[in-house]
Amino acid sequence: MINESDEYQEIRDAVRQLCGQFPDEYFRQVDQQRAYPEKFVDALMEAGWLAAMIPQEYGGSGLGLAAASVIMEEINRCGANSGAVHGQMYNMSTLLRNGSRAQKEKYLPLIAAGKLRIQSMGVTEPTTGTDTTRIKTAAVKKDGRYVVNGQKVWISRVQHSDLLILLARTTPLAEVRKKSEGMSIFIVDLHDSIGKGLTLRPIPNMVNHETNELFFDNLEIPEENLIGEEGKGFRYILDGLNAERTLIAAECIGDGYWFIDRATRYANQRVVFDRPIGKNQGVQFPIAEAYIEVEAANLMRFRACALFDAQQPCGAQANMAKYLAAKASWEAANVCLQTHGGFGFATEYDIERKFRETRLYQVAPVSTNMIFAYVAEHLLGLPRSF
């Protein structure tokens, strides 16, 4: 495999070294127990990796999205799953870009010190799905507080976070000029909220990913927890979503390389009909094809990162990177499973676990059809299809 070193090589080496302390058995066991990889996450926090994007004045490393994406890539490339922690990176970018000085001073040093986690973002709702502007969760201002009522679904890592970034309607849809207006984002302190207006119901699912239904019943949020201006939350959340898509593209690329490494190793070692299976073109060509596609997706991922870090519009590149990378990692997963034959299904090879994990990314955080719709409408000028 080409292993060109890049300007992030030091980060890559250091993250690999940390991940090296957590062997495959650790992640396999965590998966089987449907547990949270506490020790691994603590080690990442202690080493400062999850504070990478916090400016140095607040105690972080002041790195950009490109560096953050390399951290996520390397975690997945080592066989782990950044899904346990990636929320911290993209929620951070929402707070960094749109939070007030007071909010940054209150939260960022604690996050940088590993004392506070901002792992969760609440956007999706059960009755509106991808049609985000129709969300029904409402926040009504009353006596210096916002009172929240409504429901969210698939909200991840809530039980392993201290803070949640919540998107809610502050002006009813019927009263706004444009449907993207009238929504706001808030910092929700989960310790002040769970059991006091916020109830969780975990959703058992295909991967070991802690995710929940959230029920808001007159939850009160202090007025100062509003991020940015009231009514502009949708625009702010898009910044976070572009960061999220780009980071997840990087994770898929990490997965893709992991699958190709494993497939290549096995194809060289496994001897059937008196020769390594990798000698057959029917086995080696699909691996080569998967590798080419991961490499190509990687280019778009760095393009999206560069635009984001230059504060340039990057919606198109973030979406396209996520599409290409999720497709490439899924193809690599399929090839890796096929190359291993029956052994690919054995838990001890870790392929079935990574196979399940990488499949998620064609559905969440944005499904493939929505990316096609974005490109068709915004890049190609085709009529809006919904």
Task: Please identify, using beta-carbon distances, which residue of 339 and 362 lies nearer to ligand FAD.
Answer: 362
User: Applying CB under 6 A, does 186 fall inside the site for ligand FAD?
Assistant: no
Stretch that binds ligand FAD, among 93-101, 119-127, 186-194, 287-295 (CB under 6 A): 119-127
Q: How far apart are CA 241 and CA 248, in angstroms?
A: 10
- Interaction between residue 365 and ligand FAD (CB under 6 A): yes
Residues 6+ apart with CB under 8 A from 250: 69, 70, 72, 73, 76, 301, 325
**208: helix, coil or strand?**
coil
CB of 203: closest distance to ligand FAD in angstroms? 8
Cβ nearer to ligand FAD, comparing 73 with 244: 244
Which residues ranging from 285 to 344 are in contact with ligand FAD (CB under 6 A)? none
Binding-site size, ligand FAD (CB under 6 A): 22
CB of 118 to ligand FAD, least distance (A): 12
User: What b/e sequence results for 106-138 when a residue is b if at least 16 CB atoms lie within 10 Å of its CB, and e otherwise?
Assistant: ebbbbbbebebbbbbbbbbbeeeeeebeebebb
| 18 is a contact residue toward ligand FAD (CB under 6 A) | no
DSSP label at 169?
E
SS3 content of the chain, % helix, strand, coil (to 5): 55, 15, 30
Binding residue for ligand FAD, selected from 9, 29, 205, 218, defined by CB under 6 A: 205
Piece in contact with ligand FAD (CB under 6 A), picked from 36-44, 332-340, 356-364, 375-383:
356-364
Q: Is 293 a catalytic residue?
A: no
Q: Provide the 3-class DSSP secondary structure of residue 271.
A: strand
Among 250, 230, 224, 221, residue whose Cα is nearest residue 90:
250
In the complex, the smallest distance separating the C-beta of residue 268 from ligand FAD, rounded to whole angstroms, is 34
Closest to 68 measured CA to CA, from 247, 323, 303, 308: 247
> Per rule CB under 6 A, is residue 130 in the interface with ligand FAD?
yes
Q: Does 118 bind ligand FAD (CB under 6 A)?
A: no
Please say which residue, 134 or 265, places its beta carbon nearer to ligand FAD.
134
Classify the phi-psi angles of 154: left when phi > 0, otherwise alpha if psi is within -120 to 50, otherwise beta: left
**Spatial CA neighbour of 60 closest among 98, 92, 87:** 92
Residue pointed to by tokens 């951070």: 92
Report if residue 369 touches ligand FAD, rule: CB under 6 A.
yes
User: Residues 154, 308, 330, 349: which binds ligand FAD (CB under 6 A)?
Assistant: 154
- If we measure between CA atoms, which residue out of 312, 134, 183 comes closest to residue 239? 312
In angstroms, the CA 44 to CA 41 distance is 5
Assess 123 for contact with ligand FAD (CB under 6 A).
yes
Write out the DSSP string of 41-53. HHHHHHTTGGGTT
Q: Which is nearer to ligand FAD, 63 or 333 (CB)?
A: 333
| Catalytic member of 244, 293, 331, 357 | 244
Least separation in angstroms between CB 126 and ligand FAD: 8
Contacting residue, 77, 86, 160, 209, with ligand FAD by CB under 6 A: 209
Residues that bind ligand FAD (CB under 6 A): 121-124, 129-130, 154-156, 205, 209, 211, 360, 363-367, 369-370, 373, 386
Catalytic positions: 244
